[in-house]
Amino acid sequence: MSAIGTGYCDCACRDCFDIAIGTLGEALCNDCEEAGCEAGEDCECSRPDAYGVCDHDETDCDCDETPEEHSARVLDGQSELAAGYLASLARAVASK
């Protein structure tokens, strides 16, 4: 029998939304453990894909920008993908 608060829980990294296995408020997901993240509100996520920024190591990444260019564009909110999605959403709403 496990103690109360152990098992599947939210990752204890402040900026992560993944699931961890362990004690609530202490357990880190595998990616955060590998990145050296720390549990708690005082530490920022160290994962390469934190905040949805491509780490250019993914096999499905079709980005042709440098990591710096990609990060700046995504973090500045000028994502071409988001703009395309919003345009298609606007067209769908307008057609109804």
Give pLDDT tens digits for 12-48. 998 888 999 999 999 999 999 998 999 988 888 888 7
Q: pLDDT band at residue 95, thresholds of 50, 70 and 90?
A: confident
Residue for token pair 């408020």? 25
* Mean pLDDT rounded to a whole number for the chain: 75
Q: What is the pLDDT of residue 96?
A: 74
Strand blocks (E) in the chain: 6-10, 19-23
- Residues 31 and 49: their CA atoms lie apart, in Å, by 9
Give the burial string for 54-88 (b: 16+ CB within 10 Å, else e). beeeeeeeeeeeeeeebbeebeeeeeeeeeeeeee
Q: What residues does each domain of the chain span?
A: 1-47, 51-96
Q: What is the pLDDT of residue 48?
A: 77
Q: What is the pLDDT of residue 68?
A: 66
Q: In percent, how much of the chain has pLDDT > 90?
A: 26
Task: Say whether pLDDT at 82 is over 50.
Answer: yes
Question: Is the Cβ–Cβ distance between 40 and 48 less than 8 Å?
Answer: no
Q: What is the pLDDT of residue 32?
A: 92
